[in-house]
Amino acid sequence: KKIIIINGPNLNLLGKREPQIYGSLTFNEFFETIKEKYPNVSLEHFQSNIEGEIIDKLHEAGFSYEGIILNAAAYTHTSVGIGDAVAGIETPVVEVHISNTFNREDFRHQSFVAPHAKGIIVGFGLQSYELGIQSFLNPL
């Protein structure tokens, strides 16, 4: 199974960015652990702070991969373009967030991705990504 994790803006700072909200592990530390745990899954990771690069990656993966796990970060709440990209591709997209966006500021309650996502996993820390992977491995 080919699955890609796509991370949006500021998630390159994981580990040092607001650790009380996002934890103190870097994404790469977490990603190494998760790759060891799921050796039969072909797992890739892409991060960009640039909206158009995230859209390009969705287009690239969206017709050939089995699953996309998308944390569009702040663009979740602002980007019609990313929402449209998710709507326009074939690969199912699971939206994930590290923090529980619903117990934070009002502007984080809106998602342009959610209406087009297969499902949403919010608030489990980095485990949100692992739950996203599992959702593709164990469809009921």
**Catalytic site residues?**
22, 97
Q: How far is the CB of 64 from ligand DQA (least distance, A)?
A: 25
Residues 45-74 interacting with ligand DQA (rule: CB under 6 A): 71, 73-74
Q: How far is the CB of 71 from ligand DQA (least distance, A)?
A: 5
- Compare residues 7 and 91 and give the one whose CB is closer to ligand DQA: 7
CA distance 59 to 88: 8
Q: Which residues contact 40 (CB under 8 A, 6 or more apart)?
A: 1
17 is in an annotated binding site: no
Structure letter (DSSP) for residue 129 = H
CA distance 85 to 63: 12
Contact between 41 and ligand DQA per CB under 6 A: no
Direct distance between the N- and C-terminal alpha carbons of the chain, in angstroms, rounded to an integer: 17
Residues contributing to the site for ligand DQA (CB under 6 A): 10, 71, 73-74, 76, 97-99, 101, 108
